[in-house]
Homo-oligomer: A and B are copies of this chain.
Amino acid sequence: MRPKLTLKQIARELDVSISTVSKALRDSAEISEDTKQKVKAFAKLYNYKPNNIALSLKNRKTKTIGLIVPEIVHHFFTTVIRGIEEYANEKGYHVMVCLSNNSFDKEVINMEMLANGSIDGFILSISKETMLKEDYHHINEVINQGMPVVMFDRVVDQIKCDKVVIDDVEGATKAVQHLLDTGCKKVGLITTPDYINVGKLRTQGYTEALNKNRMPIHEKYILKIEDDSNSEELIKEFVKTEDFDGIFAVNEEYAVQAISALRKTEKEIPEDVSVIGFTDGVISKNFIPKLTTVNQPGTEMGRQAAKLIIDKLEKPETEEEEQYQTIEIKTNLVKRESTR
């Protein structure tokens, strides 16, 4: 076991000063070829690598991005993380991942822990609880300290920062339009409560599509699920109440549960009822029938979020025009076997 080599040790071994070593390694013109060769050879031989922490302290930048996600055991977030990690790595950045577990308190604690110099900027998708409370002081505080923040997927207007979202409304509209185009007359919606903004937007897309086609909108065609743990029963009840020939669900799980419930009422998919989900994850691809879905390009979203942050971090400080942008990632409909 040999501990890490430092400039000081090299200097001592080679009987030169620390700064000479430093300069030699950085190929400074100040240093003679001879010395450079000697130092470089030694450094290479003993595999010298500058200490990141020392560099961070000196440069006042850590080259790491803090990422806070509500939940990691979730296909969509996972693809976003991959995108972020991928882009960040290409640019020489690390990613520190924290999970809020959809808890407001954990989100606050995580942000405080990271904001103390550990990272240069945040990428985050806020927790359910935070959206409910509408308390964003922790995020605004960080922004006020001058730390760049990028929000993705679950964003809120009350926070001024760069954002990356998908076109939830449009995606939902496309889905419902497809159902109508293929002959559905009575389309049900399975969604989340409105405080989850993506649920709200997708609901809006559903409504818009129906409006555009001059179809009536009934409250009873819409199921809003508060608590995922009893979604199965709720959905089972819901599909019995009306004679739907189309269902649009705002996530994979609801879509699959709807199919399962419909099957129990002797309906065939897609012959009797067409079903479309949102998020093109492993379930959609592996289910029988394979699900028609609106895909969410999570990896692309992650890459864009990482790009926004890193661009801001590397832009010379002088440009003080605080212009925030919101990037909208396009979804598209993946037609498979659960629709006609």
Contacts and interface: CB of A to CB of B under 8 A. Distances in A.
A94 B113 contact: yes
A54 B286 contact: no
Contacts of A78: 72-74, 78
Contacts of A286: 252-253, 256-257, 283, 287
Nearest to A61: B53
B73 A62 contact: no
Contacts of A75: 73, 75, 282
A240 interface: no
Given A53-B57, A116-B49, A73 B82 contact: yes
A263 interface: yes
B96 A145 contact: no
A71 to B, nearest CB: 9
A56 interface: yes
Contacts of A115: 49
Given A85-B99, A96-B64, A116 B51 contact: yes
A115 to B, nearest CB: 8
A256 to B, nearest CB: 5
Contacts of A146: 1-3
Contact of A96 (B4, B96, B113): B96
A116 B50 contact: yes
A81 interface: yes
A97 B97 contact: yes
Contacts of A144: 1-2
A97 B98 contact: no
A176 B256 CA distance: 29
A254 to B, nearest CB: 10
Interface string A56-92: 1100001010000000111100110110011001000
A103 to B, nearest CB: 12
Interface string A270-284: 000000000001110
A57 B283 CA distance: 46
A215 interface: no
A53 B56 contact: yes
A191 B246 CA distance: 38
Given A116-B50, A117-B54, A1 B145 contact: yes
Given A3-B145, A49-B115, 4 more contacts: A85-B97, A253-B282, A253-B286, A281-B282
Lowest 5 CB-CB distances: which A-B pairs, in order? A51-B117, A1-B146, A52-B117, A53-B117, A49-B116
29 contacts: A1-B146, A3-B145, A4-B145, A49-B112, A51-B116, A51-B117, A53-B117, A64-B96, A72-B81, A73-B75, A73-B78, A73-B79, A73-B82, A75-B75, A81-B97, A85-B97, A85-B98, A86-B99, A89-B98, A89-B110, A95-B96, A95-B97, A252-B286, A253-B286, A256-B286, A260-B288, A282-B283, A286-B287, A287-B288
Interface of A: 1-4, 49-54, 56-57, 62, 64, 72-75, 78-79, 81-82, 85-86, 89, 94-99, 110, 112-118, 144-146, 252-253, 256-257, 259-260, 263, 281-283, 286-288
